[in-house]
Amino acid sequence: MNSPDVILRKLFGAAVASAQPAQCVPANLPEPGSGRTLVVGAGKAAAAMARAVEDHWSGDLSGLVITRYGHGVPCQRIEVVEASHPVPNAAGLTGAKRILERVSEATADDLVIVLMSGGASALLTLPAGDITLEEKQEVNRALLRSGATISEMNCVRKHLSAIKGGRLAQAANGARIVTLAISDVPGDDFSIIGSGPTVPDLTSTADAIAIVEKYGLNLPSSVARHLASEQAETPNAISGAHSDSKAVLIAAPEMALTAAAEVAESHDLAPIVIGDAIEGEARDVAIDHAAQAATAMPGCVILSGGELTVTIRGDGKGGPNAEYALALAMALDGRPGVWAIACDTDGIDGSEDNAGAMVQPDTLDRAKKQGLSPSEYLSRNDAYGFFSALDDLVVCGPTLTNVNDFRAILVT
């Protein structure tokens, strides 16, 4: 029989495999139009999605997608640009400008295939008005440190963008637009995935301003002016868009958890899926999940997904999955027979080189022997340092997909 840590890694692997572009793109490709076919997009899976389109498209094809550094895949007809994430840079800005220009050249006879996946909001950056890239970077850093949810962050981003929040579709001159989306957001809302560049936006500048005030964000003056202007309002309908334009969800957290549950059953474990859209502060959610694990029957595995957040107070390293794992280990307090894994399905937890971390029944004992204080590491947001010292980081490299966080707690 496989050991608990091997089983947990298999569950994570199954979740990732279920959302691979080569698996989910081909069956969802649209019929060609009478004109040209243009492929554009952004996200951590964008290059792999573009490759899947190329491999299954026999007609003329051209395009441009933006992905994170290290997430590129060789393509022949679709150009791949790598840029910075989670804080945008000049490469993303230039790529976004070129995408908007290409789409603006489309006609009503053309087909525009838009590939969206997690990370697109930062990668597809094109500040509106007189907002500079540096000011947009400042806003992104503030949002990332604030503890805001992904929907809140993307609401603000949409109202500061010249391409997101439906504006890309507005520029398409009535061309047919088909958006293929791999969801990394709770609820799988197309207007939040990649900040919804091709779908109507139902949020307002008032909503964005309320989020800024909620988290006490200190905005650059040009950003504050823009948010107070009429130009910041996003389109709540895409006028002139082709009547059969549509958005298709091709992979989502629920599918990933289903795949993991099937693997659990093959190991005679009872999967308990507690939600694919869980949000909240990572350390708080961990405490709740530890309580659920304490009352669970042996032979079960508790599965969950969603988008956890971290309010950064310290100067340590680590993303929400490692922080969740550290808080979970502390809450379990060495409980016998409980093992866990928490990973981002894109393979990168925050901005470090790990996907997440593993928790074992002896995690705290091993830490104590090394003189490590879990509470001190947590207080400075250094879960990466804690699990690195224990050799319990999960490092797999970019997975070329992204269906959000994956968590599994195995009770033996």
CATH, residue 84: 3.40.50.10180
Cβ proximity of 242 and 114 under 8 Å: no
Nearest to 318 by CA among 388, 391, 400, 404: 388
Domain final residue, candidates 206, 228, 251:
251
Q: What is the mean pLDDT of the chain?
A: 95
Are 299 and 335 contained in the same domain? yes
| Same structural domain, 234 and 303 | no
Q: Tell me phi and psi for residue 16, to 5 degrees.
A: -65, -45
Shared domain for 257 and 245, answered yes or no, is no
Task: Mark which of 215, 230, 251 sits at the end of a domain.
Answer: 251
Percent of the chain topping pLDDT 70: 98
353, 392 contact by CB (below 8 A): no
Residue 244 pLDDT grade (very low, low, confident, very high; cuts 50, 70, 90)? low
**pLDDT score at 263:** 98
Most distant CA pair in the chain, distance: 69
Residues 286 and 210 in one domain: no
Q: 25 Cβ partners below 8 Å, 6+ apart? A: 49, 52, 53, 56, 180, 250
pLDDT at 127 over 60: yes
What's at 3, amino acid-wise? S
In eight-state DSSP terms, residue 161 is: B
- The residue among 168, 166, 162, 164 whose CA lies nearest residue 231 is 162
Task: Verify that 83 and 155 share a domain, yes or no.
Answer: yes
Residue 368, C-beta contacts closer than 8 angstroms, at least 6 positions apart: none
Joined tokens for residue 13:
């692997």
Together in a domain, 142 and 259: no
Q: Which amino acid belongs to residue 85?
A: H
pLDDT at 123 over 70: yes
Domain that holds residue 122: 20-251
At residue 241 the predicted structure's pLDDT band, cuts being 50, 70 and 90, is low
- Tell me: do 45 and 186 sit in the same domain: yes
Best CA proximity match to 308, nearest among 276, 330, 338: 276
What's residue 355's pLDDT? Answer: 98
324 pLDDT higher than 80: yes
Do 98 and 198 share a structural domain? Answer: yes
- Judged against a pLDDT cut of 80, whether residue 155 lies above it is answered with yes
Domain stops at, among 207, 228, 251: 251
Same domain, 177 and 286: no
Could you tell me the pTM of the whole model? 0.93
Kindly state whether residues 126 and 181 are assigned to the same domain.
yes
Domains contained in the chain, number: 2
- Per-residue model confidence as pLDDT tens digits over 367-391: 999 999 999 999 999 999 999 999 9
The pLDDT of residue 124: 97
